[in-house]
Structure 1
Amino acid sequence: MSTTDIYIARHGETKYNREGKMQGRGIDAPLNKTGRLQARAISDELKDKSIDHIFSSSLVRSMETAEIVAWTFRMKYHSYPELDEMNFGKFEGRASKDIEQELNEVHRTWQNGNTDYAIDGGGESPVMVLERVNSRMNNILNNHSGSTLLFVLHGRLIRIVLSHWLGYPLSDMHRIEHSNGALYHFLKNDNSLEMGYLHKTDHLEGIMDEEG
């Protein structure tokens, strides 16, 4: 029985994260200084893990994080648009505090079980995101069975994917914590998926909070 070692990292911080603005698939922002430090901290944390392959979304913040880690392992990373963050439609680029009531209504809709609901303006539903992400990730996992893999992903997407992996309904995805630079670990055997840890952040301690 082969075991696949799966690490998942949330990308480092961007200006949008710092300013509390919605940053989904429609916003392609680079890392700021803190984000680059977080990416290096991910590298340091994983440097002894013998990573075989690194995968990211096609968004700059994810690719920049993956590139910093890939440099440590002297390897290339592979990016896929199917791993991109959820599209938040009309909320993209807006400050969360300015749309708090509308956001709360969306979250209540999802928590009440309507995970087919998508935000107006070209947004995606949790079900839509899971379908596109799960297809690509299953393909990667099947093609690299027995390897040690790192996925550099996004906050809402991590909530969606890990809820599915842990057997939660998507209406409970808020149970999954996420923050910039956090790590998650799973072990996959032929017929089982075992959680190692969720939302590991101790490697980020001591990082100076820098803008720019």
Structure 2
Amino acid sequence: MATVILVRHGRTTANAEGILAGRTAGVRLDDVGRSQAARTAQRLAVVPLVAIVSSPLVRCRQTAEIIAEHHALRPELESALTECDYGQWQGRPLKELAQESLWSVVQTQPSAAVFPGGESLSAMQARSVAAIRRHDAALEGEHGAGAVWVAVTHGDIVKSVLADALGMHLDLFQRLSAGPGSVSIVRYGSARPDVVATNTDSGDLSWLRAAGPAGDAPVGGGAGPGSAPHS
């Protein structure tokens, strides 16, 4: 299948203040977040993207629009990529939430975590993974197996999609990181996904211009992107 570049939005005012923003309206990128989004846009400028799909929340739309400035694309909004519904946790300081009994469940057994008045982390993963795979299949059908597209979303969404691609149980997804403005890359193949990169904030992505569809894993690790296989 095609290649999806998972981008977490840049830093927000809530991130800087240690607040769990959730779906709070009007949470925007701060100056650092705009710089992070611009850095990511520069990295992606050399990649021939076929689509940019974004969570509808402002911070993701801002990030997607900065990326789109380098491409003749208009970001498409996807509600299934929106932030987790943290319910009564939304808008509260993280240091305060860390005192709640549910905090340890979120950290050690996220598959059992249900936010009061909100959704479960399992439901969040199911909807976001389904959306990523649906868009990926549709874009491959339209543009071919070499298609590369961007999904701009949230930290826990990125982590849950990566956990699924890695074959990890959701209870292990807190071992993954997705920093503000970070890039992670998944190439879906017919047999299994290929997780190419996680949580990167620098590095050349021009090799994606010529990346073919995911195939068998190279025994021994291979020669890296852009290298011809040994005959």
User: Do they superpose with TM above 0.5?
Assistant: yes
Indicate the residue corresponding to 2:115 in structure 1. Answer: 119
Structure 1 residue matching 2:124: 3-state secondary structure: helix
How far the C-alpha of 1:27 sits from its partner, in A, is: 4.5
**TM-fit CA distance, 1:107:** 4.1
Change (3 A) 1:134 1:28: farther
Aligned to 1:106: 102
Equivalent position to 2:133, from 109, 134, 138:
138
Does structure 2 retain, via aligned residues, the 8 Å contact 1:13–1:34? yes
Runs of 4+ in 1 over 3 A off after TM superposition: 110-114
Out of 77, 80, 87, the residue aligned to residue 79 of structure 1 is 77
Unaligned runs of 5+ in 2: 204-231
Q: Deviations over 1:159-192 (max 9, x none)?
A: 2121111111111111111211111012222222
Aligned to 1:208: none
Higher relative contact order (CA 8 A, sep 6+): 1
* TM, length-normalised to structure 1: 0.87
Report 1:60-75 matches (<5 A).
Answer: 60-75=58-73
Shift of 1:108: 2.6
> Does the alignment pair 1:183 with 2:166?
no
Q: Is the 8 A contact 1:56 1:78 kept in 2?
A: yes
Q: Cα distance, 1:45 vs. partner?
A: 0.7
Deviation at 1:112, TM superposition (A): 4.8
- Given residue 59 of structure 1, which amino acid in structure 2 is its aligned partner? L
Per the TM alignment, residue 114 of structure 1 is displaced from its structure 2 partner at its CA by 5.9
The answer (yes or no) to whether the contact 1:10–1:155 under 8 Å persists in 2 is yes
Q: Which runs of 5+ in 1 are unaligned?
A: 204-212
For 1:36, the equivalent position in structure 2 comes to 34
Aligned-CA RMSD value: 1.6
Matched AA of 1:193 = P
Query: Could you say which residue in structure 2 is the equivalent of 1:207?
Result: none
Which residue of the other structure, out of 78, 82, 88, is the alignment partner of 1:90?
A: 88
Q: 1:114 to 1:137 in 2, by over 3 A?
A: closer
- Seen in structure 2, the aligned counterparts of structure 1 residues 123 and 198 have a Cα distance that, compared at 3 Å, is same
**Other-structure match for 1:8:** 6
Tell me, yes or no, if the aligned pair for 1:116 and 1:128 is still in contact at 8 Å. no
Give the structure-2-normalised TM-score.
0.80
Q: Could you say which structure has the larger radius of gyration?
A: 2
CA contact (8 A) 1:6 1:187 kept: yes
Match of 1:206 in 2: none
CA shift at 1:109, angstroms?
1.8
